[in-house]
Structure 1
């Protein structure tokens, strides 16, 4: 029997790999503790196949994610949505391991983003994923990565969709928010994945550690919650397990942070993604009645 926390409960960034990882067992754990909605981000393309050499090589990871989302939605009281794109770490795989020049790596990654954008345009994905390395790279690789990210903002503006970012740790990414605005995007629809409780610029998707969540709740600004569960059998529970978000929601409610829970699980998802977590819960309930 699934616990009902009296609110939608959304994990804004996790991965599912039914073929190699826990897959739907992780979804069941999330749902059993009171989780209702998931944003499922495709695993890096090289985790689900060879390192891409052309745009079509990105499709298997995208299709696998969409299939996992469909299956997950059948097991949730709410539903799941896919966010698709190109992991910024691919640039290092291409340059360091495959011998690409940074400019050629940039072009291939932009091609992958264009494929992901097709899925958004068709209504098969909710948003895009991009970013830049969180580790030291050469100036040429850094410039190439920033060019890929800026292309993601161009797609986001054209498609009127959110863009999730994997970037270096920072509490001030206002420069990135300005790039999004320059491309025609609302910067609040740019989401910094793996954020702490305080961030200038994009909307923070806060890793569900209690101290970071306390900071986010006390600030009173828009935020989301996530685990970045990687669903890798060699790394069980990494980064946080699928039960974490519902457990942290229960804790926030016990601490008197009802407004923050509503912010993270109803208001911010609506503002960033255009999704209504309350309505999807009600719709599913009526379907099952």
Structure 2
């Protein structure tokens, strides 16, 4: 069991109190030593229709803010919302009859709405990305246009941007786009990352082999589960107890510096949050 004096942050998970474990997952996380969460909104179509106007996005974002507030009441630390648009929305919209350009316009509308939540202090960071599967050149180009728009919004809002992308250990193209619009690439985070990543900051899936590579590399990194909280997909990705348990495993194997990097230093560098000061 980790001490309350040692922050333990899961950088990326989803919670669904209506259909999934919800706050029970937060309690499970807390009981095994978890202290802080970054809660990412579920894809908009999981909680409603395919979005057509800003209100469709706002409903999902409002729900996620409320979930983070409830989680903060349980945790010894704090939970923050991360809001944005899952990149696979473009394929769903195209399948529903939109052109790639029309789909991109809806996605940018959703990102604009998410940015408004950051601007007024209700969300900590943004989320965007591009498909992790094969798509047409037109969809790929439009997806990258949406990603670049998200980088511009993050730069304007002075916040971090989480990305869902293809499996890769090199995102120097995104780092270049970030610098072009004034966004520090350090504040761009690849979710579901492997143990090493060139270009932006990795949020490493909390599997032992990936974490060992990250710990031995000595570079900034974060830890996550991508817990999906979907009763129709039991066991999908990693459970909410995983990050605290992996922190304990890292400590047992002498990786204390890496623990401090992932749960104190990198959250401060990327998000501007102090996980030590926010412990009660």
Q: TM-score range by the shorter chain?
A: over 0.9
Q: CA RMSD in A?
A: 0.9
Residue matched to 1:54: 53
Taking the aligned partners of 2:126 and 2:26, their CA distance within structure 1 comes to 22
State the 1:169 CA deviation. Answer: 0.3
State the 1:183 CA deviation. Answer: 1.2
Q: What SS does the corresponding residue of 1:278 show, helix, strand or coil?
A: coil
Of residues 128, 151, 154, the one that matches 1:153 is 151
Taking the aligned partners of 1:127 and 1:31, their CA distance within structure 2 comes to 23
Size of the aligned set, in residue pairs, is 280
Q: Is the 8 A contact 2:12 2:191 kept in 1?
A: yes
Q: Is the 8 A contact 1:91 1:105 kept in 2?
A: yes
Of residues 104, 108, 111, the one that matches 1:110 is 108
Residue matched to 2:84: 85
Q: Is the 8 A contact 2:4 2:76 kept in 1?
A: no
Taking the aligned partners of 2:55 and 2:127, their CA distance within structure 1 comes to 17
Residue matched to 1:74: 73
Taking the aligned partners of 2:123 and 2:4, their CA distance within structure 1 comes to 27
Residue matched to 1:40: 39
Residue matched to 1:195: 193
Q: What SS does the corresponding residue of 1:216 show, helix, strand or coil?
A: helix
Q: Structure 1, residues 139-160: CA drift from partner, whole Å, max 9, x if none?
A: 0000110000000000011010
The equivalences for 1:198-277 within 5 A come to: 198-277=196-275
Q: What SS does the corresponding residue of 1:277 show, helix, strand or coil?
A: coil
State the 1:38 CA deviation. Answer: 0.1
Taking the aligned partners of 2:248 and 2:201, their CA distance within structure 1 comes to 23
Residue matched to 1:177: 175
Taking the aligned partners of 1:52 and 1:27, their CA distance within structure 2 comes to 28
Residue matched to 2:20: 21
Taking the aligned partners of 1:3 and 1:9, their CA distance within structure 2 comes to 8
Q: Structure 1, residues 31-64: CA drift from partner, whole Å, max 9, x if none?
A: 0000000000000000010110122210111011
Q: Unmatched 5+ residue regions in structure 2? A: none
Taking the aligned partners of 1:7 and 1:253, their CA distance within structure 2 comes to 11
Q: What SS does the corresponding residue of 1:171 show, helix, strand or coil?
A: coil
Q: Is the 8 A contact 1:130 1:163 kept in 2?
A: yes
Q: Unmatched 5+ residue regions in structure 1? A: 285-289
Normalised TM-score (structure 1)? 0.96
Taking the aligned partners of 1:237 and 1:277, their CA distance within structure 2 comes to 28
Normalised TM-score (structure 2)? 0.99
The runs of at least 4 consecutive aligned structure 1 residues that moved more than 4 Å come to: none
Taking the aligned partners of 1:199 and 1:268, their CA distance within structure 2 comes to 14
Taking the aligned partners of 1:123 and 1:82, their CA distance within structure 2 comes to 10
Taking the aligned partners of 2:151 and 2:2, their CA distance within structure 1 comes to 38
Taking the aligned partners of 1:134 and 1:215, their CA distance within structure 2 comes to 22
State the 1:267 CA deviation. Answer: 0.1
Q: Is the 8 A contact 1:5 1:250 kept in 2?
A: no
State the 1:176 CA deviation. Answer: 0.7
